[in-house]
Amino acid sequence: MNILHVCSEFFPLLKTGGLADVMASLPAAQRNLGVNARILLPGFPEIIKQLPNKKKVTDLNTFSGNVTLYYDTYGTIPLYIIDVPYLYDRPGNPYHDINNNDYHDNYIRFALLGYVACELAKGCDGFWKPDVVHAHDWHAGLTCAYLAANNYPAKCIFTIHNIAFSGNFSSFHMPELWLPNHFYNTEGLEFYGQISFLKAAIFYANYSTTVSPTYAQEVLNPKYSHGFDGLLRKRYNEGRFCGILNKVDENIWAPDKDFLITQPYSVRNLRNKIKNKQSLQQELGLPLLEHLPLFTIVSRMTYQKGLDMVLEILPKMMESGLQFIILGQGEHHLESAFTQLAYQYPNNMRAIIGYTEQKSHQLIASADILMVPSRFEPCGLTQLYALKYGTLPLVRRTGGLADTVTDCSLEALEAKEATGFVFNDSNTKDLNNAIQRSLLLWKTQKKWRQLQKSAMCQDFSWNTTAQSYISLYNEILNK
């Protein structure tokens, strides 16, 4: 079976969020199960410069002019790269300029990704063509529309990684996209007077998924759906929508063989975890406190992540002597607020604005508690990494957080099933109560160690998820 994954990021070549981690892991797991999975990516400079031995596949005539399609492999994963320097070779990140503004022609930049995916399905590479095209997030959303416009030369699946980002653009651009005019319709890609890449994907895909079972149920509700609940309920009732949980690449996120942390450790020698905490405290100039837990957040700084609630309760946490470190970037007012608090509490807090993979590993290995107080969370990966590292997640009960973290209730503790601290409502009272429960359990180190061991023994390998998608591919191919 030949599968083409279509996406905008791939770790370690280019990463702005969890999508890149998923795209590095899912196709690799599928290849291990005998599926010929490949990836199509835009030729962003970070990707192009790391593939010096790429080979030309073909030139294509497209709505953005002549483009070149290249082929290479990274590790075990075959990659197709769309090389169009005037579209992709720009400062900033793949989606925004250096001032964090969307590029004005994102509709063309990412429509081209879907167009080329369809050309591969039609056979533009004379040596390989996909049976199923698997598109990821709005950037690849028009893939499904182009396949539909060409009578489905391959079946298609679309995965929603975050429904809050839907890729909406002015309907004025419709003639530029080389799609049939009648596709701009409520029974098509029209969404409240705009072109929606996400709507196009859900409408035209043979099957749609999202990245956790709980999130799949949540987005059927207008509260979480960003306007797509009607279409998703229809697909759900047709048996064409479900949630499949993301997992962890245990070759990268494994504390016993992690070369990015100070001291490797495992569930059998958890004492070595403390050396990572001490090393980080020394590096950042924080007091070497062992008798109190170290809290951390590794996250994009956005309203979605509930960080404004954390800002409200941080002063009391700091005044009680606790330590807190945040790593991330995003909305400027949140970056400034955390930076200001760090200056206010120099013995207790650090705000590291930006992101590096090494620092992410170091924080997750060093901290005692990882906070993920998201208002909504399609899956979440940092809590999975934390579980693998014996860093107990403190999360809101939503989306993938609800599917992956078991609260330390008395019953769960007794059954040795608890893996973290879960609160229900998105407010500071519930968040603070969860923090207080974590501090109470910290005082009983025997129970804390049991919680760590339960967390680290969870199976979050990609095999089961990869097999679930393979079963789905077979299902749509046989219809």
Give the Cα separation of 35 and 360 in Å (integer). 32
pLDDT averaged over consecutive 10-residue blocks of the chain (479 residues)?
Answer: 98 93 96 97 96 96 96 96 96 87 95 98 97 98 98 98 96 97 96 97 98 98 96 98 95 95 95 95 94 96 96 96 96 96 97 96 98 97 97 98 96 93 97 97 95 94 96 95
pLDDT of residue 290: 84
Question: d(Cα 417, Cα 8) in Å, to the nearest integer?
Answer: 37
Q: Which of 143, 163, 138, 167 is nearest to 155 (CA)?
A: 143
- Residue 303: phi and psi, rounded to 5, are -60, -40
Residue 384 to residues 12, 42, 150, 200, 380, Cα–Cα distance (Å): 19, 28, 40, 31, 7
Q: Is 416 annotated as a binding residue?
A: no
pLDDT at 99: 83
pLDDT digits 0-9 by tens, 381-427: 999 999 999 999 999 999 999 999 999 998 999 999 999 999 999 99
Q: How far apart are CA 29 and CA 342, in angstroms?
A: 41
Rounded to 5, what percent of the chain is helix, strand, coil? 40, 20, 35
* Portions of the chain given CATH number 3.40.50.2000: 2-247+462-477, 271-456
- Strands of 421-423's sheet in order across: 349-353, 323-328, 294-298, 369-372, 392-396, 421-423
Angle at 255 between CA 338 and CA 289, to 5 degrees: 50
Residues 455, 456, 462, 463, CA torsion sign: negative
Could you tell me which CATH class the domain 271-456 is placed in? alpha beta
Classify domain 2-247+462-477 at the CATH topology level. Answer: Rossmann fold (3.40.50)
